[in-house]
Amino acid sequence: MSNSAFASVSIVAAAMLLSFAAAAAENGSCVLDGKKIQWVDGVAYHVPDHSNSTIQDLGIALTAEAIDRAKVDASTDIDETMIFHTFADRFVFKIKTGDVHEIYANISGTNINNNGTDPIGTLKLTSNDAKHVAGTFEYLGTATNKLACDLKFDVPLVR
C-alpha cells in the first residue's frame, strides 16, 4: 500500500473512531421550539423524596456540556446543584417507584417544571446498580410546554 493510500485509510479510520466516540457519549436529545439540544454528559444520584424523606428518589441529570465532577462531588445538595446552579442547558428527571414523577429542564433560558402523582413519560431502565444507571426515557410534553425528549442514557451513579 502506498503512503498516500495508507494516509487516506488512516484518516477515514480516525474519523470513524471519533464519530463512534461522540455517539457513545450522547444521552439523547430534547427539542423545544424547533431547537434540538443534544445531551452529552450526565450523572445519576439518590435524593430524599420531597413528600417522604424516608424514601430515596433517583435523579438523572443530563447536560449539553461536560459536567464539572469536582463541583458535583463538593456539593452539599446535589439536587439543588444539578437543577438550579450548574449548567445553562440541562434536563433532570426523578424516578420514584419505577416511574418518572418530576422533570426539570432549562433549555436556552426556558425553564420547564412538570411534576405530579401520575407517571410522566415512558421510562425503561436497563441497568441500575451501584456504579451506573442506564435506560431510555421518552417525554412528549404537555399542552402548555412543547418540550419533546427521546433519551437513551448510561450515566455514572455519583451518590
Q: Would you state the pLDDT for residue 2?
A: 55
pLDDT band at 23 (very low <50, low <70, confident <90, very high): very low
Instruction: Choose among 39, 44, 14: nearest CA to 129.
Output: 44
Confidence label for 22 from pLDDT (cuts 50, 70 and 90)? very low
Higher pLDDT, 20 or 79: 79
- Mean pLDDT, residues 125-145 taken together: 91
Encode pLDDT of 74-110 as tens digits: 888 888 888 776 667 999 999 998 999 999 998 888 8
Residue 10, pLDDT > 50, answer: no
- What does the pLDDT read at residue 17? 32
Give start and end residues of each alpha helix (H) in the chain.
3-25, 69-74, 78-80
Between the alpha carbon of residue 2 and those of residues 9, 10, 12, 15, 37, the distances in Å are: 11, 12, 16, 20, 43
Average pLDDT over all residues of the chain:
82
Retrieve residue 52's grid coordinates: 417522604
> In the block, which residue shows the cell 447536560?
63
Q: How many residues does the chain have?
A: 159
Using CA atoms, how far apart are residues 37 and 26, in angstroms rounded to an integer?
A: 11
Is pLDDT of 8 > 80?
A: no
For residue 12, pLDDT beyond 60: no
Domain spans in the chain, listed from the N-terminal domain onward: 27-156
**Residues with Cβ < 8 Å from 147, sequence gap 6 or more?**
30, 31, 32, 105, 107, 112, 139, 141
Q: Tell me, what's the pLDDT at 16? A: 35
